[in-house]
Amino acid sequence: MLALRPRNFLAFQVCNQEERDMKKLDSRSRVTKKSVGTPKAKNGISDLRQQLEDLSDKIDLVLPEVTARVAALEHLLREKQLVSRQDLVSARAFVRLQEE
């Protein structure tokens, strides 16, 4: 004898499958990770040290280009006779004083 199935039997099966999938996800999300306190501090210091080294490398790459651009600007200013050589020398002396 044929068993009568409800009209929405397929929809019922899909809903049940979705509920089972959600239960599987829920059971996986309950897994907790152990936290370790001291290595994080050491890892943080090493991360900072690495960032400092990266920054130093970037400065080493950029500084020569900036210096070259400043020299090119000084050359143009002299060529256009907008400043005298003495103006440039005094400007460099002023910058050196500010660095100290």
Look at residue 43 in the predicted model and tell me its pLDDT.
Answer: 78
pLDDT category, 18, cuts 50, 70, 90?
Answer: low
Burial of 16 (0-12, 13-18, 19+ CB in 10 A): exposed
Q: pTM surpassing 0.75?
A: no
Residues 66-85: what's their mean pLDDT? 95
CA distances from 94 to 4, 14, 44, 89 (A): 97, 79, 40, 9
Residues 24-51: what's their mean pLDDT? 67
Residues 19-47: what's their mean pLDDT? 62
Look at residue 45 in the predicted model and tell me its pLDDT.
Answer: 87
